[in-house]
Amino acid sequence: MSQEMINQLKQFKVIPVIQINKVEHAVPLAKVLVENGLPVAEVTFRTEAAAEAIRQMREAYPEMCIGAGTVLNAKQVELAKEAGSEFVVSPGLNPNTVRYCQEVNMPIVPGVNNPSQVEQALELGLNFLKFFPAEASGGISMVKSLLAPYVDVSFMPTGGIGKGNVNDYLGIDRIVCCGGTWMVSPALIESEQWDEIGRLVREAVELVK
């Protein structure tokens, strides 16, 4: 991933990790994010709607920074790329997926949670990594323990991060940003509670200033 894109994510601090079940929710959700000061999204490939959701968000709001999450294989990388995704994020470190991303010039942020995986990522030429699942893998103390020996590595922790602990993570040197779902929960999206999502997004932006 380019330093320019890493710097962009660093400015956002919080990356909304979004599960969209219905394509028609994509543009209204993008609108809420843009208008409330967080024009960035990681749209997870956990649903059939993901690729089309990214496409519609990209068309409606070309200025948004949009990535694809839960990308598990080359086919999903292709779908994400075609839809207009700027980067992909995976829950784990699959060397085949990483190499494919490198072949097609698609930045990837793979998930790691132990030293062996960090070293595997470094071997593949990657040093900006997702720490996942963050809280379940030891949280803050594990992040600090992993960053200590790997001085070139920086992290995007995701998983179990919310209002109560996001600033604890962001306070650590080389934590670029955190992925979070609390302001864009599937239940709120499903019930089209755009005003409430907007309120939570504004609150999140204020919280991490």
In a domain, 101, yes or no: yes
Q: Is residue 129 part of a domain?
A: yes
> Considering the domain boundaries, does residue 208 fall inside one?
no
Q: Report yes or no on 166 lying in a domain.
A: yes
Active-site residue 130, yes or no?
A: yes
Non-local (6+) Cβ contacts of 135 within 8 A are: 159, 160, 161, 165
**13, 42, 81, 86: the active-site residue:** 42
For the segment 11-49, what is each residue's pLDDT rounded down to a tens digit? 999 999 999 999 999 999 999 999 999 999 999 999 999
Structure tokens of 26? Answer: 């994509």
Q: Which domain holds residue 38?
A: 3-203
Residue 194 lies inside a defined structural domain of this protein: yes
Number of structural domains (the chain) is 1
Check which CATH number belongs to the domain holding 60 and give it.
3.20.20.70
CA–CA separation, 59 and 62 (whole Å): 6
Distance CA 88, CA 98 (A): 10
Of residues 13, 81, 86, 130, which has the active-site annotation?
Answer: 130
Q: Kindly report, residue by residue over 183-209, the tens digit of the pLDDT.
A: 999 999 999 999 999 999 999 999 999
Give 157-180 pLDDT, tens digit per residue: 999 999 999 999 999 999 999 999
User: Is 187 contained in some domain?
Assistant: yes
Active site residue 123: no
**Contacts of residue 193, Cβ cutoff 8 Å, sequence gap at least 6:** none
